[in-house]
Structure 1
C-alpha cells in the first residue's frame, strides 16, 4: 500500500543559483544604466545617485522579490507542488528611459534656462522623477483589480506573442549582436548555456555559473578588459553605507509634475500594467498560475516604495518567467536577487562590480531566456493560432527597428539643436523604399497594438468576427487619444503624442476595419439561417 506524501516547495534548490545569475544580470544592467544616465545625461552628483536613488531602488527590489518568493511558497503549498517558480521582478526598462529623457531631462533644462545652478536643476529633476514614478505606481496599483477580467478577454496568443516580440528584439538580438562583436569572449558562454539547457549536459558546477566564470576569465584574459588604476579608484569612491530616506515632502512640493507630464506618466503606467499582465499569462502558460490582483498590486506597491524612498524608476514583473522555470529556478533565486541587489545598492559597490564583471560574462543567459520566450509563444498556444502569434511579433520588431534607425541618425550627427530630427527625413527613407513613418507609428504603444492585432487574428481564425470587430473599435478609441500609433517629433526622437484626436488617421482605419468585420459577421449569420 502506497502512502501519499505531501509535496511542498523548498526555499532554495541548486538551480536557483542559475536563475539568480540571470535575474541579477537583468537587474544589474538596469542599475548600471541608471547610474550612467543620471550622472552623464542629468548631471546628478554622486551623493544624489548613491545617497538617495540607489537606496530607494534597494528597498523596492527587496520588497518585490521577497513578496513574490513568499507568494510562490504559498501557491506551491496550496497546489502541493515542488516545482513552482517565483515571478521574476525588477526595474522597468521602458519607464527608465522615458522618465529620464521625457520628464527629468526637460525639467533640468528648463531649470537651467531659468537661471538655476546645476545642483538646483539636478534637485528639481530628481523630484520630478519621484512624482512620475509615484504616478506610475498609483496606476499599477489601481489596475490590479481589473487584471483577471483582462486575462479572460485576451486570447493567450495575443498576450504571449507580444512578449515574444519584445524578447526577440529588445532582449535577444541586442545580446546576439554583442556576442558576435566579441566572439572570442561571447561564444563560449553561449555554448555552455545551450549545452546545459537545450542539450541537458551536466557540468560539475551549475551551467549558468560556469558561463559567467568563463566569460569573466575570457574578458580579462583576452584584453577586452584590462586593469586601470584610475578607473579602479573611481569605482571605490562611492563605497559606504546609505540608509534610505522618506521623501514625501519632495513628492508633495513637485506634485504639479503629475499634471504637466501626465501624457508620459499615464501610458507608462498602463504599459507597465499590461506588460505585467502579459507576464502573468506567460507564467501560467509555463505551468505556474498566480492570482492577478495580489501579483499586480505588489508590483504597484513596489513602485510606490521606490518613489517614496528616493528612486525615480518604477518596478515591474519581468518578462522571462518560462526561462527561469526552464533553468530550474524555484523560489530562492528571487530572495537571493533581492538580498544581493539590495546590498549592492545600499553599499555603493555597484560601480566596483561593474569594473570586474563585464556584461559579456552573463549575457548568454539573458539571450537564452529571450529564445525560450519566443519559442513559448508558439508552443503554448493552439497550433492553428500560429499566424496570430506571427502578427503579434511584428509591432515589437517594428518598434525595435525604429529605435535602431533613430540611433543611427544620432550616430550620424543628427538629433542635436543645430541638426534636429524632422519629418523631412521620412521622404529620404522612402527613397530606399523604407516607410519609416510606419515604424514610428508602430513604435508608439506597440504593446497595445501587438496584443490587439494578434487578438483580432485569433478571432478571425476562430470565425468570431463580431469579437474581432469589438477589438477593432477598442483599437480606434485608444488610437484616437494617442495611446498608440500617434507620435510627435522632438529634437532627437519621436515620442508618444497624447491628445484628443491626435491619432485620427489610425482611428478611422480601425473603425473601417470594424465595419468590415461587422458586415462579415452579418453575412455569415444570414447564410446560417
Structure 2
C-alpha cells in the first residue's frame, strides 16, 4: 500500500487512463452518430446540436463525482494509490438505443407522414424520455441492487448483455470493418494482438491508440489515391457547433411515444444497476472500497441529468477499474476525461472528430469490447450454467435478423406483411423470427433463468419462471405479435395476431405444467446432477 502524496492530481498513469477512457467514449458516440446518420438518414444537426451536448454533459458530471469520491477515499485512508471509478457511455445499451430504439422510431415517424426534421425532433424527445425512465429506474433500484442480484441469476444477466454484445456490438461493427477491409482489418488485428493476445507493441504504446492511428493513416493515405474504392469519403470542413446542454422539458413530450419501446428500455436500466454492482465489487477486490449505493446513485443521477439536458445514451461505471489501476491511473484521468468529453459536446469538437474518423477505424474497438463482454459471460458464470448462457443468445440473434429483414431496402413493407402472415404448417418463419426477437433482452433473462433453475434441480422454480414468461408474452412485453414490437391488450388484437399470442403463451404454460409435474418426483442429489 502506498501512503505518500495522497493529494497528487496527475500521474503518468493518468495520461494512459485518460487516453483509453476518452477513446472508449468517443468510439461509442461515433457509432451512435454514424448509425443514426449513415444507416437511418437521421438529420445530423439534431444529433450534434441536441443529442451530443446533453449526452456528453452526463459523462462530465459522472466523472467529476467519481473523481471527488476517489479524492475523498484517498484523504480518509491516507493512500495515494486510490483509483477513481471510470465512468462513460455504456456501449451495449448505447448501440442498442441507436439500432433498436432511435433508428427504428425515426423510420416509423417518417412512415407516419412526418418530414425528416419533425421525425428527428420526435425521435430526440423519445431518446430523452428513455433516459429519464432508465435514470429513474436506476435511482430506485440503487437502493435494492442486492435484491435484484439475488433473484436474477448471473447467467441471465450476463447472457442477455452478451447476446447484445455478440450480435449487435460485435457482428454489425464487423460488417462495417469489412466494408473497408484494408483499413478495418488492420486495426482489428492490432487490437486483437495487443488486447487479446497481450502482445507487446513498440515503446509499450496502448493497443487502442496504435490501432486508431494505423487505421486513420491507412484511410487518409490510401483513400485519396483511390485504393479504397467507394469506402473513402473526403472529410468535411471543421465546424464550431456551439450548443449548451440546457435543461428542457421536451423529454416529457417523448413519453407519449415510449410505450412500444419499454421492453427494451427497462432491461437496459436494470442491466446497468447489476453491472454497477459487479463493477464496484471488482474495484473493491482491487483495493478501492467505494459504497455501492453511492456508485449506483451517481450513475443514476448522471443519466437523469443527461436526459433532462437532451442526452440519449446512458452513463455507467466501466468494468475496467482494476485495469486502470494496474496502468497507474489515479484520479486525474477521470477528471480530464470528464472535462474533454463535456466541453467537446458543448464546443462541437466531438462532432468534428466523429466526422473525421470513419467507422471502419473505430469499429475494431467495439468488436474487442463485444468479445470481452461475451467471454466474461462465461468466465464469471459457473461452468455448469454455460448451456443457459448459450441458450440466452438465440433471442438476440433473432433480433439482429429481424433488423435486417424489416429494412425496406431488403424487404419492401408490403412483402414483409405478406410473408409475416403467410399460412402453412404452423406460424410463418418470419413471424417466428420477429416474435422471438421482440423483447429479446427480457426473453434472454427468462430463458437463462429457467434453465439455471432446472440445472440446480429447482424444477418448480423453473415452472414459475415460465409462467412469468407466459404473462409477459400475453401483453407483448416479450414475443410481441406486433411486428414493431409494441405492447398491447391481447383481446384488442386482430384475430390473426391474437392467435400468434395465444400460441406462444400456451407454449410457456404447457412447459410450465410439464415441469411442475416433473417436480413431484423430487430432485436428484446434487452430486448426481454434477456427475452429468
Distance 2:475 2:328 in 1: 42
SS at match of 1:486: coil
What is the distance in 2 between the residues matched to 1:509 and 1:99? 28
Matches of 1:429 and 1:213, distance apart in 2 = 54
SS of equivalent residue, structure 2 residue 220: helix
Other structure's SS at 2:485 match: strand
Partner of 2:94 in structure 1? 92
Corresponding residue number in structure 1 for 2:494: none
Q: Deviations over 1:286-320 (max 9, x none)?
A: 66677664444434423332332234x24143786
Aligned to 2:390: 390
Give the Å deviation of 1:25: 0.8
Distance apart, 1:56 and its partner CA: 2.1
Three-state SS of the structure 2 residue aligned to 1:317 is strand
- Residues 24-173 of structure 1: pairs in structure 2 closer than 5 A: 24-34=26-36, 40-41=41-42, 46=45, 50-68=48-66, 70=68, 86-90=86-90, 92-97=94-99, 100=102, 127=125, 130-131=128-129, 133-173=131-171
Change (3 A) 1:227 1:78: same
Hey, what does 1:242 align to over in structure 2? Answer: 243
Report if aligned partners of 1:88, 1:320 keep a CA contact under 8 Å in 2: no
- Please say which of residues 441-450 and 62-71 is displaced more in the overlay: 62-71
3-state DSSP of counterpart to 2:416: coil
Counterpart of 1:403? 403
Query: Residues 322-369 of structure 1, C-alpha deviation per residue, up to 9 Å, x if partnerless?
Result: 997699596665544433332332122344323432222232222112
The gaps in structure 2 that reach 5 residues or longer are 492-497, 527-532
Which residue of structure 2 lines up, in the alignment, with residue 201 of structure 1?
A: 200
The Cα offsets for residues 230-252 of structure 1, whole Å up to 9 and x where unpaired, read as x524xx34x1433232323x456
Kept in 2, the 8 Å contact 1:140–1:269? The answer is no
TM-superposed deviation, 1:210? 0.9
Asked whether 1:267 is paired with 2:286, we answer no
TM-aligned CA distance change 1:334 to 1:524, over 3 Å: same
Question: Using a 3 Å threshold, how does the CA distance of structure 1 residues 504 and 78 change in structure 2: closer, same or farther?
Answer: farther
- Which residue of structure 1 lines up, in the alignment, with residue 495 of structure 2? none
Contact 2:276 2:317 in 1 (8 A): no
Partner of 1:499: 489
Alpha carbons of 1:384 and 1:100: their partners in 2 closer, same or farther (altered >3 Å)? closer
Name 1:338's counterpart in structure 2: 338
Aligned residue number for residue 363 of structure 2: 363
**CA deviations over 1:106-160 (Å, ceiling 9, x no partner):** 6677685xxxx98777666655654454344334433433332111112222221
Range 83-92 or range 212-221, more displaced: 83-92
Instruction: Name structure 1 gaps, 5 residues minimum.
Output: none
**1:456-467 equivalent positions in 2, closer than 5 A:** 456-467=450-461
Paired residue for 1:516, among 511, 514, 517? 514
Q: Given that residues 465 and 520 in structure 1 are in contact (C-alpha distance below 8 angstroms), is that contact kept between their aligned partners in structure 2?
A: yes
The 1:109/1:74 distance shift into structure 2, 3 A limit, reads farther
1:46-66 Cα offsets, whole Å, 9 max, x none, are 4x5554443222322222343
Tell me if structure 1 keeps the 8 A contact 2:243–2:346. Answer: yes
Match of 1:277 among 262, 273, 278: 273
CA distance in 1, matches of 2:184, 2:257: 41
Aligned to 2:416: 421
In 2, the alpha carbon distance for the partners of 1:107 and 1:192 equals: 41
Correspondence for 2:476:
482
Alpha carbons of structure 1 residues 402 and 294: separation in structure 2 relative to 1, 3 Å = farther
Shift of 1:527: 11
Q: Secondary structure at the match of 2:199?
A: coil
The question of 1:232 aligning with 2:236 is answered yes
Match of 2:381 in 1: 381
Partners of 2:364 and 2:339 lie apart in 1 by 23
Superposed CA RMSD: 4.1
Structure-1-length-normalised TM-score = 0.79
Q: With the length of structure 2 as denominator, give the TM-score of the two structures.
A: 0.78
Partners of 1:284 and 1:453 in 2: CA distance: 27
SS of equivalent to 1:468? helix
1 CA distance for matches of 2:78 and 2:386? Answer: 31
Matches of 1:31 and 1:79, distance apart in 2 = 43
Distance in 2 between residues matched to 1:429 and 1:365, nearest whole Å: 44
Q: Offset of 1:169 from its aligned partner?
A: 0.8
Q: Is the 8 A contact 1:486 1:497 kept in 2?
A: yes
Asked whether the equivalents of residues 399 and 442 of structure 1 are also in contact (C-alpha less than 8 Å), the reply is yes
Secondary structure of the equivalent of 1:487? coil
